[in-house]
A and B are shown apart, each in its own frame.
Chain A
Amino acid sequence: MFYVSVFFQYMAQYMKTKLQYRTDLLIEWLSDLMAQAVNLVFLLVVFGHTTLLHGWSRDEILFIYGFFLVPYAVFGAFFNLWDFNERYIVQGEMDRVLTRPLNSLFQIVLERMELESLLGAVPGLIIMLYAGSRLSLSFHWYDVFVFILFVIGGALIYAGIFISLATISFFADARTSIMPMMYNISSYGRYPIDIYHRVIRYILTWVLPFAFVGVYPAAYFLDKKEWYSYAFFTPVVGMVCFTVSVMLWNAGVRRYRGTGS
């Protein structure tokens, strides 16, 4: 209960500071939109030259992309860990966090939340509606709940992977240049998994399970029956991924010694 009340207090503070700088908010949202536009342009240009990607049509691939944007927006709103090393280890902010009677990861999540990222889900939903209507997909009443479950699973997978990457900072005190490349790799989960060599398919499914944030869950809504078993596995993978990362985090915090300044 304590955690819930702290969460809402942080959220209220957050709203106040953000609304103070409204133009910044708008610019941030626009630049997020542009980041997504880059991927969309890639898809549209490529499908200007071909009609099928290993048996998947343009609209199906667009649908996967639209779906991906929703868990990604949830992830982006709560897990801004990309500058964790710089901000918390090098500048010593971690010391401050550790003196407080609250889980350190939870505090950092609260401090770094960017609720406006949730707006990124809107273009995702629009793309899904557009592609879905062109494919004339049929939906059931319970699909809404399946969708929410898959979104949570996907966001937890992203969170798990990026929390694990952030924990590297506890063990090796050096700058990590891995994060931007990881963002790149994550984009491969948005394409039909059967186009890849089995090694990469294995990596994207079991090592860095980005396929569970794109093609697998989306396949459920696209009525691709052969991928159903993977699709329903999404929340499980999310839970496992997240739990492992929290364990890694706690192990890392125990090793943390501070930079001394």
Chain B
Amino acid sequence: MGKYVEMVRIRFLMMLAYRTNYYTGILIYAINIAAYYFLWSAIYGGKSSMQGMSLGQMTTYVAISWLARAFYFNNLDREIAMEIRDGKVAIELIRPYSYLGMKAVQGLGEGLFRLFFLSLPGLFFVSLFLPLQFPGHAKTWLAFGLSLLFSFIIFSELNLLAGVVTFFTFRNEGLLRAKRFIIDLFSGLILPLSFYPDWAQQLMAYMPFQAISYIPSMIITESFQGAAVSDGLFTQAAWCVLLLFPIALLWRVAKKRLVVQGG
């Protein structure tokens, strides 16, 4: 356990070396969210609510979705694919730790860094000039925190899954790109899933992607109330567990099939 915690710390410190980048990052993030705000104002066009969300809730939804993304996002799939191509994975496999577990905690280290150096200052900065609505209840914040942690786990699990597939295909640039767009579209990052037509919503309810962005953002904007909050958290927890099975299965086969070309 200790070595995994140490890895989180190392990744955090590695990112800290490049922190100046993030000041510009905050500014660009702010321009982004401000432009989004005006776009949504135009879409609302004076209506007080759309699909049960007010403009204030929508602005908060968008701002939080992008900041949450800074926390849960990582490139584990690409890193694994790269290590397989370079042959570095052979060295990784003989080291005394779980390869996938180590990848996941590296992602956590990066995520924690961006949470403290990009998300939180960014949110503070944006809230100075945009009408964001934050919930007053400590319970909502707690539920949001838990939900965000689940987001990270599910996003990383999907990345590990895509990464492990590379063991079989060697080149899967296309698959990785496709996964990225599916997540952008179906996770509720670019717009709340409640805006999609009914048939699309029903389809998305059976997929893990909504658990990445839609659920935490709906919780923090208080668009989910009462039972909807606990249902959402339960859905996320279920996907966290469910996704472990295909990973474990593919990983067992992949380790046996691994061919290292040079290196």
Chain B nearest CB: distance from A72 CB in Å? 16
A31 touches B177 (CB 8 A): yes
Interface size on A, residues (CB 8 A): 38
Which residues of the other chain, B, contact A200 by a CB distance below 8 angstroms?
31, 34-35, 38
Q: Which residue of chain B has its CB nearest to the CB of A23?
A: B174
Chain B nearest CB: distance from A49 CB in Å? 6
If the complex has contacts A34-B181, A37-B181, A181-B25, are A52 and B45 also in contact, measured as CB distance less than 8 A?
yes
B18 touches A49 (CB 8 A): no
Q: Quick check: is A137 within 8 A (CB to CB) of the other chain? A: no
Q: Which residue of chain B has its CB nearest to the CB of A49?
A: B50
A196 touches B43 (CB 8 A): no
Which residues of the other chain, A, contact B182 by a CB distance below 8 angstroms?
34
Q: Which residue of chain A has its CB nearest to the CB of B197?
A: A48
Contact with B along A174-200 (1 / 0, CB 8 A): 111110011011001001100111001
A41 touches B42 (CB 8 A): no
Which residues of the other chain, A, contact B196 by a CB distance below 8 angstroms?
45
B43 touches A185 (CB 8 A): no
Contact with B along A31-55 (1 / 0, CB 8 A): 1001101100110011011101110
What does DSSP make chain A's interface, helix, strand, loop or mixed? helix
B45 touches A185 (CB 8 A): no
Q: Which of A183-229 contact B (CB under 8 A)?
A: 184-185, 188, 191-192, 195-197, 200, 203-204
A185 touches B35 (CB 8 A): yes
Which residues of the other chain, A, contact B34 by a CB distance below 8 angstroms?
197, 200
Interchain CB contact (< 8 A) of A28 among B29, B174, B184: B174
Contact with A along B20-61 (1 / 0, CB 8 A): 111011001101101100110111110100110000000000
Which residues of the other chain, B, contact A38 by a CB distance below 8 angstroms?
181, 184-185, 190
Which residues of the other chain, A, contact B29 by a CB distance below 8 angstroms?
181
Interface centre among B22, B38, B51, B195 (most CB of A within 10 A): B38
A185 touches B28 (CB 8 A): yes
Interchain CB contact (< 8 A) of B38 among A37, A49, A174, A195: A195
B31 touches A175 (CB 8 A): no
Q: Which residues of A contact B (CB under 8 A)?
A: 24, 27-28, 30-31, 34-35, 37-38, 41-42, 45-46, 48-50, 52-54, 172, 174-178, 181-182, 184-185, 188, 191-192, 195-197, 200, 203-204
Name 29 interchain pairs, CB-CB below 8 A, sorted by A: A24-B173, A24-B174, A28-B173, A28-B174, A30-B178, A34-B177, A35-B181, A38-B181, A38-B190, A42-B191, A45-B196, A46-B191, A49-B51, A50-B43, A53-B42, A54-B45, A178-B25, A181-B28, A185-B28, A185-B32, A185-B35, A188-B39, A191-B42, A195-B38, A195-B39, A195-B42, A196-B38, A197-B34, A200-B35
